[in-house]
Structure 1
Amino acid sequence: MRILYIDIDSLRPDHLGCYDYHRDTSPNIDALAADGRRFTNYYASDAPCGPSRTALFLSRFGIHTGVINHGGINADPRRYGHGRGFRYPGKFQSWMSVLVEHGIHTVSVSPFASRHDTWQVLEGIAEFHDPRDSHAHAREIYPYAEEWLADNADDDDWFLHVNFWDPHTEYNTPLEYGNPFEDDPAPEWPDQETIEAHYQSYGPHSAFNPESASIDWSGSWNLERMPEEIADREDFKQWVDGYDTGIRFMDDHVGKICDLLREQGVFEETLIIVSADHGEALGEFNVYGDHQAADQATCRVPLIVSGPQVEPGVDDDLHYQIDLAPTVTDLAGAESPAGWDGRSFAPSVSDGEAAGRKSLVVSQGAWACQRAARWDDWLLIRTYHDGGKPAFDDVMLFDVAEDPHQTTDHSSDRSEVTAHGLSILQQWHDDRMLEVARGENGGNPETPDGIVDPMWETLREGGPLHARESLDDYAEYLRSEGRDVQAEEIETNYNIRR
């Protein structure tokens, strides 16, 4: 079996043509979707980057692996304990390890593991190609995939993971590529009134400081594709043009990879999967160009599956990203380990049968501490640490079918729905803790502190990494901009002393 997994950073589905976006951002991905199966309610269980890919490749919830943050104790997987012999316990084998044991050669082209020191995502990868540039463009990634496919595409039984960074901030697609969307209108939301309200407020990556206060992550923030602030619709258009151009540039290289498969005569025989580690906020909760919540913008990701064994169509059921590993494992004819939390939805892929879940719980632990319940048309978000963002209340309820940008909180006027959402969160938490105690699914009773929720450990450390690293400097930055009241709010909320 030949499997190509195209893994795209920060790609939200509603900016792809196949998900009804009005701009032509993704003609090559759209072509795969037209002949394949498209999933509309597919969510990363743990966001953002490091927690997401750890959950994906280990097929276990962050509450079980411990990985929910980008730093501190919960950036690394928990130890396996006494059951760790010469090798890891078989029940907790990684997705790639299972495929290798089934005779599939596994390959990764990605700078991700070295960028985040998340080496657990390489467990079972037989061949690893790292361009050593954490912000490499698609044109730097593509040659590695091109060379490998030229030499190996017609071999049997391989899995190739290709990771493109381009839609991620900063939006720095080479200027010679131009702006394909210069004459296209920006999305209608956020409107001018919303942007003005956002600009008067604050928070990391807010409209007032989308570069996240005085922090310039790569030393290259003065980019022509990105405004220094988002004060009006014209600024927003420049911002979203930069994001969409990154998608189109990446999509061009997806097309090149598909052309290579055609040249090698194996395109029709290759299972092609397109997805993302997480989405991207483009104004939701006054976050621009980052992924800071357990919300619809951050946790909902695209999933397109095309190729042999695939029933074309659309699946609207709820699925976790961790469900992909057992699904592909099933399609490859292998057996999933007992220690995976993921559940196969192979019947949907191959036969169009319903194989979704009744509800999901998703997590954010790097920019805020949140969990959210997703069921029917509802999303309930519970915030334990707001990461310096005043837009987050303790409990919020949204109808994401009617309000995909989560602008109207129904937690006070739909009390029965709010109570149901909170009960989903509590039941999910209890079930995961019982799995640890009993050694079921992804729970491991032998790991130290296994019965402790990593969310509480992160709070004990002082909160999510990016917030605890920057809020002190952020308050000082606000003062330098004449926003003393807002600076005082942060200093008071987080006990920052001058």
Structure 2
Amino acid sequence: MRVIMFDIDTLRADHMGCYGYGRDTTPVMDSVAEEGVCFDRYYCPNAPCLPSRASLISGQYGIHNGIVGHGGTAADMRLQGESRGFTDLMSENGLFMQFRRAGFHTVSFSTFAERHSAWWFNAGFHECFNVGNRGGESAEMVTPHVLDWLERNGEEDNWMLHVHYWDPHTPYRTPADYESHFQGTPLPDDWITDDIFREHLLHIGPHCANEINMWNDDTFPQWPKHPGRLEDREAAKHLIDLYDDGVRYTDDNIGMVLDYLKSHGLYDENLAIIITADHGEDLGEFGVYGEHGMADEPVCRIPMIIRWPGVEGGKRVTGFHDNVDLLPTVQELLGTQTFGNYRYDGVSFAAALREGKDCSRPCEVLTQCAHVCQRSVRFDNYIYIRTVHGGYHLLPDEMLFDLEADPHEQHNLAEERPELCARGARMILDWNDEMMKTSAYDADPMWTVMREGGPEHCRGHLEAYLDRLAGTPREYGIPLLKEKYSYWSRGEQ
């Protein structure tokens, strides 16, 4: 058996053809979905990059493994402490270690561990290829190494390749000579009207139309396609086109790898393919462009496509699942055993693959503490979002959206549907209680982030941002920000 896992940064599920998108962004991945099993409501429970992959590798939510943010204490995997033996249990039980324990030769093509000082990510790999750009690389820097490895080793049996592509991640960076597939063609869902975009121009907060570069409108010569600001609605469309180009460019490179396997007789019934992402992207939702800074649907819903030997293809799984479920699923499929007294939060969905059995949860609780501090719950057709720190966006403390009627989260139903807000709040509270009952630590790491000064990407930026707003049409936000974030504006972080 051979396994290849495509780990794609910032791949928003609803911008893929197999998830209903109207543009031809993912023809190669769509073809894999036709041969495999596609999960419709699959989530990263801890967004964005570092917390999501911590959950993926550990099989634990951030409230247990400790990683919910991008800086401070909550950006490090919790130490096992007194019970630690010669090696720690997380490293011995992580996702990639399952393949190694099952006898696979494991190889990663990724810069992720270096980008986030997350060296635990490499546990279980025999080989790690790091092109050295810390996530700034494009696929043409990665794919040749994958093809070279396959040329030298592909005929061997029992290998597992982890191939990590960054191209949908901001800054959008397809090569200068890469011809756009989408510039000049209409968006499938042109929901950003002139009126909505005028509102976006008045939005307060990072990564808005006036500050694509988070806190300012700087541009960079190494990424000439990526704009610093959006002047008009057409510019907003252009940014979404760039994102879709990044998705298509990734798909093109996956196609090169799969074409190699096909041309060398390696694309057979014994080849497993896993396609997933760490998180998605907001592309205008909440007035935010080109960022993954909320615990909302566009950021937290991710693809999961699995083609596995012996599993009937062409099926869809509709229930709620998230990325902590992959580890126990792989463990069951490979027949590996848990090492020591280690606890997974995930639930195996192997029976869903093999037998079509419903292994789903009734809801999904989602956490984001890198750009904002939010905890959300996804249930039925709704997402309920509680904001503790809005990352200097002027967000309500409670938000509720009917995603079937309002997929871009424009109409907050919190005041109209208090009974649903109460239901969502209770789900989060019950989940939090259950997580803390089984935690070896006293603190919920979300509150560690708050005690250490709030989300990492906001620390130290408020005063300069207030100065930037002065004398502009957004000056109205200065007193509102000072009132809402008075603790931080007094410099007490």
User: TM-score, structure 2 length as denominator?
Assistant: 0.94
The one of 209, 212, 235 equivalent to 1:210 is 212
Q: Which amino acid aligns with 2:448?
A: E
Q: Which amino acid aligns with 2:438?
A: E
The aligned residue for residue 432 of structure 1 is 435
The aligned residue for residue 332 of structure 1 is 334
Q: Which amino acid aligns with 1:426?
A: L
Instruction: Provide the C-alpha distance between the structure 1 equivalents of 2:380 and 2:68, rounded to a whole number of angstroms.
Output: 25
The one of 346, 353, 356 equivalent to 1:352 is 356
The aligned residue for residue 271 of structure 2 is 270
Which deviates the most, 341-350 or 225-234? 225-234
Instruction: Provide the C-alpha distance between the structure 2 equivalents of 1:221 and 1:408, rounded to a whole number of angstroms.
Output: 38
The aligned residue for residue 318 of structure 1 is 320
Which deviates the most, 3-12 or 476-485? 476-485
The aligned residue for residue 346 of structure 2 is 342
Conserved? CA contact 1:92–1:340, under 8 Å:
no
Instruction: Provide the C-alpha distance between the structure 1 equivalents of 2:389 and 2:45, rounded to a whole number of angstroms.
Output: 18
Deviation at 1:159, TM superposition (A): 1.6
Conserved? CA contact 2:91–2:97, under 8 Å:
no
Q: Which amino acid aligns with 1:431?
A: E
What do the CA deviations read for 1:445-491 (whole angstroms, capped 9, x no partner)?
Answer: 2xxxx121001110001101001143332222222656433234334
Instruction: Provide the C-alpha distance between the structure 1 equivalents of 2:13 and 2:302, rounded to a whole number of angstroms.
Output: 6
Instruction: Provide the C-alpha distance between the structure 1 equivalents of 2:173 and 2:479, rounded to a whole number of angstroms.
Output: 34
The one of 373, 378, 382 equivalent to 2:377 is 373
Q: Which amino acid aligns with 2:478?
A: A
SS of residue paired to 2:412: coil
Deviation at 1:384, TM superposition (A): 0.6
CA gap of 1:284–1:78, structure 2 versus 1, over 3 A, is same
Instruction: Provide the C-alpha distance between the structure 2 equivalents of 1:155 and 1:470, rounded to a whole number of angstroms.
Output: 52
The aligned residue for residue 484 of structure 1 is 475
The aligned residue for residue 259 of structure 1 is 259
Q: Which amino acid aligns with 2:447?
A: W
Deviation at 1:77, TM superposition (A): 0.8
The one of 368, 374, 386 equivalent to 1:382 is 386
The aligned residue for residue 38 of structure 2 is 38
Conserved? CA contact 1:83–1:89, under 8 Å:
no
SS of residue paired to 1:373: strand
Conserved? CA contact 1:166–1:249, under 8 Å:
yes
Conserved? CA contact 1:57–1:325, under 8 Å:
yes
Instruction: Provide the C-alpha distance between the structure 1 equivalents of 2:410 and 2:2, rounded to a whole number of angstroms.
Output: 43
| 1:137 partnered with 2:141 | no
Deviation at 1:36, TM superposition (A): 1.2
What is the Cα-based RMSD across aligned positions, in Å? 1.9
- Give the paired residue count: 483
The aligned residue for residue 201 of structure 2 is 199
Conserved? CA contact 1:227–1:238, under 8 Å:
no
Instruction: Provide the C-alpha distance between the structure 2 equivalents of 1:91 and 1:129, rounded to a whole number of angstroms.
Output: 19
Conserved? CA contact 1:2–1:158, under 8 Å:
yes
The aligned residue for residue 7 of structure 1 is 7
Deviation at 1:121, TM superposition (A): 1.2
SS of residue paired to 1:68: coil
Instruction: Provide the C-alpha distance between the structure 2 equivalents of 1:364 and 1:3, rounded to a whole number of angstroms.
Output: 31
CA gap of 1:469–1:327, structure 2 versus 1, over 3 A, is farther
Deviation at 1:272, TM superposition (A): 0.4
| 1:288 partnered with 2:292 | no
| 1:147 partnered with 2:138 | no
Structure 2's unaligned 5+ residue stretches are none
Q: Which amino acid aligns with 1:349?
A: L
| 1:468 partnered with 2:459 | yes
Deviation at 1:222, TM superposition (A): 6.8
Conserved? CA contact 1:211–1:221, under 8 Å:
no
Q: Please show how residues 40-439 of structure 1 align to structure 2 within 5 Å.
A: 40-89=40-89, 93-134=93-134, 135-186=136-187, 187-214=189-216, 216=218, 219-220=220-221, 223=224, 225-268=225-268, 269-312=270-313, 313-336=315-338, 338-390=342-394, 392-436=395-439
Deviation at 1:35, TM superposition (A): 1.4
Deviation at 1:234, TM superposition (A): 0.8
Conserved? CA contact 1:210–1:229, under 8 Å:
yes
Deviation at 1:213, TM superposition (A): 2.6
SS of residue paired to 1:374: strand
CA gap of 1:402–1:105, structure 2 versus 1, over 3 A, is same
Conserved? CA contact 1:330–1:336, under 8 Å:
no
Identity %: 38
The aligned residue for residue 442 of structure 1 is none
Structure 1's unaligned 5+ residue stretches are 437-444
The aligned residue for residue 450 of structure 2 is 459
Conserved? CA contact 1:37–1:315, under 8 Å:
yes
Conserved? CA contact 2:216–2:228, under 8 Å:
no
Q: Which amino acid aligns with 1:254?
A: I
Instruction: Provide the C-alpha distance between the structure 2 equivalents of 1:336 and 1:401, rounded to a whole number of angstroms.
Output: 39
Conserved? CA contact 1:170–1:221, under 8 Å:
no
Which deviates the most, 475-484 or 42-51? 475-484
What do the CA deviations read for 1:340-365 (whole angstroms, capped 9, x no partner)?
Answer: 11111011122222211111101101
Q: Which amino acid aligns with 1:354?
A: D
Instruction: Provide the C-alpha distance between the structure 2 equivalents of 1:488 and 1:33, rounded to a whole number of angstroms.
Output: 50
User: TM-score, structure 1 length as denominator?
Assistant: 0.93
SS of residue paired to 2:470: helix
Q: Which amino acid aligns with 1:364?
A: Q
